[in-house]
Amino acid sequence: MGYTSKRNLPKLQLLQNFAVRVVLGLRKFDYISQGRRSLRWLDVTEKVLFNDLVLAFKCVNGLAPDYLVKYFVKRSAVHNRNTRECKSSAVPRCRLSTGQRAFYYWGPTEWNGLAENIKNMKEINGFKKTLFKNMFYKK
């Protein structure tokens, strides 16, 4: 989940659901998901993923601070074997789940899971639009 702890996400989701009810005038037992889609809002977990992938895009393209950019190293820079994954980012080893929630592990992992056409974009606004469409319409 990136930097947001998993304990806070259900609370944030409840708050977002309440906001949807207020904005659309829905009652207590009305469905929220159709209302959220009509507002074109991602749910909280998808929004956290979206923000983390935008930060990963900035890291890959050198738009982020150096202390974050250093986590996105190509596998071809780590070893010289020609494999299918040589153009993707190297993911560090983490034994504990605590380390796997950190951006240095989670960012490259999620970045490698993106489609190639999204990863190859060079403009940040186009990347955000394409990523949002990909996340919003995949359901």
- How many angstroms separate the Cα of 58 from the Cα of each of 117, 120, 127? 16, 12, 10
The stretch 1-6 carries a mean pLDDT of: 52
89 and 60 Cβ atoms separated by less than 8 Å = yes
- Give the model's pLDDT for residue 63: 92
Are 45 and 11 a contacting pair, CB within 8 Å?
A: no
Whole-number average pLDDT of the chain: 82
CB 51 within 8 A of CB 9: no
Running DSSP on this structure, what letter comes out for residue 85?
Answer: T
Longest Cα separation, the chain: 60
Helix/strand/coil for 31 = coil
Give 24-46 pLDDT, tens digit per residue.
Answer: 999 988 899 899 999 999 999 89
Instruction: Tell me the pLDDT band of 1, cut-offs 50, 70 and 90.
Output: very low
User: Residue 90 corresponds to which tokens in the numbers above?
Assistant: 């190297």
Q: Indicate the SS3 state at residue 89.
A: strand
Residue with tokens 């299918």: 84
pLDDT of residue 137: 79
Q: Beta partners for 89?
A: 74
What is the rounded average pLDDT of the residues 3-28? 84
